[in-house]
Amino acid sequence: MALKVVGAVLDALSDAALLLGPDGRVAVANAPAQARFGVWIVGQSYVSALRQPPILSLVDGCFAHGAGGAVEVTHVAEGVESRLRLQLTPLVLDRGLHALLVFRDVSAAKRDEALQSAFVANVSHELKTPLTAILGFIDTLEGPARDDAGGRARFLGLMRREAERMSRLVADLMSLARVEAQAARRPTARLDWAEVVRGAAEPLEDRMAVEMRLGGPAWVRGDADQLVQVATNLLENALRYGGGAAEVALDHVAREPVLRGPAWRMTVRDRGPGIAPEHVPRLTDRFYRVDAHRSRAAGGTGLGLAIVKHIVTRHRGRLRIDSALGRGTSVAVLLPDAS
Ligand SMILES: Nc1ncnc2c1ncn2[C@@H]1O[C@H](COP(=O)(O)OP(=O)(O)OP(=O)(O)O)[C@@H](O)[C@H]1O
Ligand SMILES: [Mg+2]
């Protein structure tokens, strides 16, 4: 009787759960456990069913002296490796000592942790480089260049450049954090995307040739500042890495399959050197640059496309990057039509 109740409770769990009977055999395996370990696990002895030494010694401890506990193990099924945290709870049911095993998949959490520490390492490195340069210039100004007025002006100029790069990095990090925090809040204001793009292109037009085919109005629900950020980054990328000229177009798409409805598509196209295919899927990773030296020299932080990606996601849109070496790059942003 009690066993039936436990079985029903385990079936309601989303984690894989096994109940071992006093005879050491699997009495109950809920659906996730059957999916993970196979349906044939029911009735098997725990020694052959579970195999891994850390799990076996945990179960031995339970049956020997009623001890509970937890271990973390790596489980491989069909070539996919996952990290499982196993919690064992001793249970007395129908006067017999049972062992309840609940397996929680912590792979995603582990991956997030690894990504997070890589991110912190990147940020530290990006900040350390200009900081080291500034400290070096201070040493020079205090020492060899103390009485050299011309040198002083030059070093101050260099220090300003490094400080500005740190300040840009901090601003980009803050805007990334802001968009991430807003991810679940879809913008509600209705605005004309064509006007937003025109406004973003204007300040860049004395540094690059921008050919615009916007038309409009192109009604979308959006955060104007963030859509300016998107257009600015794509145009700046065309300026820096795409040969210095860009074509910007806004087109209406009657039915966009992924967005399941009508949409507007903004395309920023350049005729620059293009991007090798192996880099394309990683361009939206934070700090990813094809040519780090060139990006740094141009004042880039490598966060631009990561921010763009987050903004587009928050707007429930899509980002597509098409590029071929020698033929240039085309970046499209699709947003649901809100007319
Ligand atoms: N139009 C393009 N043509 C060729 N390469 C590009 C283009 N756009 C981006 N890239 C490559 O992708 C990398 C990442 O772009 P992203 O906008 O994320 O960073 P960034 O421009 O280097 O710095 P930031 O945008 O933060 O100032 C760039 O460093 C560059 O190597
Ligand atoms: Mg950029």
Query: What is the reported pLDDT for 199?
Result: 95
Domain identity same for 227 and 173: no
Q: What's the domain range around 116?
A: 106-181
Last residue of a domain, one of 181, 196, 223: 181
The alpha carbon of 12 and the centre of ligand 1 are apart by a number of angstroms equal to 47
Domain identity same for 169 and 295: no
Tally of CB atoms within 10 A around 151: 14
Tens of pLDDT, residue by residue, the chain (339 residues): 678 888 899 999 999 999 999 999 999 999 999 998 889 999 999 998 888 999 999 999 999 999 999 999 998 877 888 899 999 999 998 889 999 999 999 999 998 899 899 999 999 999 999 999 999 999 999 988 888 888 889 999 999 999 999 999 999 999 999 999 999 999 999 999 999 999 999 999 999 999 999 987 999 999 999 999 999 999 999 999 999 999 999 999 999 888 899 999 999 999 999 999 999 999 999 999 998 888 888 888 899 999 999 999 999 999 999 999 999 999 999 999 998
Query: What is the reported pLDDT for 144?
Result: 84
The token pair that represents 82 in the structure block: 């996952």
Last residue of a domain, one of 84, 105, 126: 105
Whether ligand 1 lies within 6 angstroms of the CB of 289 is answered as yes
What kind and span of H or E run contains 334?
strand 328-336
C-alpha distance from residue 167 to each of 29, 121, 170, 174 (Å): 56, 18, 5, 11
Distance CA 339, CA 264 (A): 10
The token pair that represents 103 in the structure block: 């397996």
Domain identity same for 93 and 77: yes
Domain identity same for 194 and 248: yes
Domain identity same for 78 and 135: no
Domain identity same for 231 and 174: no
Domain identity same for 9 and 127: no
Domain identity same for 203 and 172: no
Query: What is the reported pLDDT for 120?
Result: 92
Domain identity same for 171 and 221: no
The alpha carbon of 233 and the centre of ligand 1 are apart by a number of angstroms equal to 8
The number of residues making up the chain comes to 339
The token pair that represents 263 in the structure block: 């949409």
Whether ligand 1 lies within 6 angstroms of the CB of 280 is answered as no
Domain identity same for 235 and 307: yes
The alpha carbon of 233 and the centre of ligand 2 are apart by a number of angstroms equal to 5
Whether ligand 1 lies within 6 angstroms of the CB of 21 is answered as no
C-alpha distance from residue 111 to each of 107, 183, 205, 250, 286 (Å): 6, 20, 42, 38, 15
Q: Which residues surround ligand 2, an ion (CB under 5 A)?
A: 233, 237, 304
The alpha carbon of 7 and the centre of ligand 1 are apart by a number of angstroms equal to 55
Angle value at C-alpha 200, between 198 and 204, nearest 5 degrees: 105
Into how many domains does the chain fold?
3
Domain identity same for 196 and 57: no
Last residue of a domain, one of 60, 89, 105: 105
Domain identity same for 313 and 254: yes
Give me the DSSP letters along 246-282.
EEEEEEEEEEETTTTEEEEEEEEE--SS---TTTGGG
The alpha carbon of 237 and the centre of ligand 2 are apart by a number of angstroms equal to 5
Query: What is the reported pLDDT for 1?
Result: 67
Whether ligand 1 lies within 6 angstroms of the CB of 176 is answered as no
Query: What is the reported pLDDT for 216?
Result: 77
Report the CATH number that the domain containing residue 138 is assigned in CATH: 1.10.287.130
Whether ligand 1 lies within 6 angstroms of the CB of 301 is answered as yes
